[in-house]
Amino acid sequence: MDISMKRRTLLKVIVLGDSGVGKTSLMNQYVYKKFNRQYKATIGADFVTKELQIDDKLVTLQIWDTAGQERFHSLGAAFYRGSDCCVLVYDVNVNKSFEALQNWHEEFLKQADPTDPAAFPFILLGNKIDIDGGNSREVSEKKAREWCAAKGNIPYFETSAKEDYNVDEAFLCVAKTGLTNE
Ligand code: GTP
Ligand code: MG
């Protein structure tokens, strides 16, 4: 098939989660194949784009990185509207970041106000699984999967932005899940 015949789709993806869980790092690994040890807090929001092909569709992911730190929150409802997928991120070594997911999930639905909240595509990423060979984990995979099941079977991936583990797989799922919401 001629490339111009393919359907082009732009998907707006919002990445949310506590400060320091690795939102920016996951995006940088996915889009630029780079990892930075140094922490630099995200202020406000910014996006990167990545093109991928799924079957006969050309998909452009417009991935919005956001600030986990409360004092850098300045996003109004207009920012969230029109989203096709929401990626929630926590750090498997920090229970507090897992407990906070409830809030991020609620806040997103409140702001984005999708037509069918129960069917809106979320994805959960449990990041930093490389640390200490898993010995410093505070949240088990089982616990995370239970949360996802309770929220209507949200797909779940355990990732390492540092080691580039499961990052491509997670964002491919983001694209596929986002497409179902078109
Ligand atoms: P905010 O912008 O404040 O919301 O934080 P963030 O969620 O964007 O976190 P960021 O990506 O800046 O990562 C925070 C710190 O964790 C940085 O020092 C990263 O290098 C480190 N980090 C991120 N992902 C991983 C990972 O998978 N493994 C390890 N070991 N460190 C990581
Ligand atoms: Mg950041």
Q: Quick: pLDDT tens for 20-40.
A: 999 999 999 999 999 999 999
- Residue 76 has what pLDDT? 80
- Residue 45 has what pLDDT? 84
pLDDT tens-digit readout, 152-179: 999 999 999 999 999 999 999 999 999 9
Is ipTM beyond 0.90? yes
- Residue 88 has what pLDDT? 98
- Residue 75 has what pLDDT? 75
Q: Does 21 contact ligand 1 (Cβ within 6 A)?
A: yes
Whether the Cβ atoms of residue 68 and residue 20 lie closer than 8 Å to each other: yes
Q: Whose CA is nearest to atom 28 of ligand 1?
A: 128
In the reported structure, the alpha carbon of residue 172 is separated from the centroid of ligand 1 by a whole-number distance in angstroms of 21
CB burial of residue 135 (10 Å; 0-12, 13-18, 19+): exposed
Q: For residue 130, is it left (φ>0), alpha (ψ between -120 and 50) or beta? A: alpha
Atom of ligand 1 nearest to the CA of 17: 7
Q: What b/e string do you get for 65-101 counting C-beta neighbours within 10 Å, with b at 16 or more?
A: bbbbeeeeeebeeebbeebbbbbbbbbbbbeebbebb
Question: Which residues, including other chains, have CB under 8 Å from residue 136's CB and lie 6 or more apart?
Answer: 93
pLDDT lower than 70: segments of the chain:
1-6, 72-74, 182
Whether the Cβ atoms of residue 176 and residue 54 lie closer than 8 Å to each other: yes
Summarize the chain as % helix, strand, coil (round to 5): 35, 25, 35
Q: Is 53 helix (H, G, I), strand (E, B) or coil?
A: strand
What residue type is 9 in one-letter code?
Answer: T
- Report the predicted TM-score, pTM, of the whole model to 2 decimal places: 0.95
Q: Does 176 contact ligand 1 (Cβ within 6 A)?
A: no
**What pairs with residue 53 in β-bridges?**
58
Question: Which residues, including other chains, have CB under 8 Å from residue 151's CB and lie 6 or more apart?
Answer: 105, 122
Name the token pair of 47: 């996006």
Q: Does 136 contact ligand 1 (Cβ within 6 A)?
A: no
Place of tokens 């799922």: 173
Q: Does 129 contact ligand 1 (Cβ within 6 A)?
A: no
- Residue 6 has what pLDDT? 63
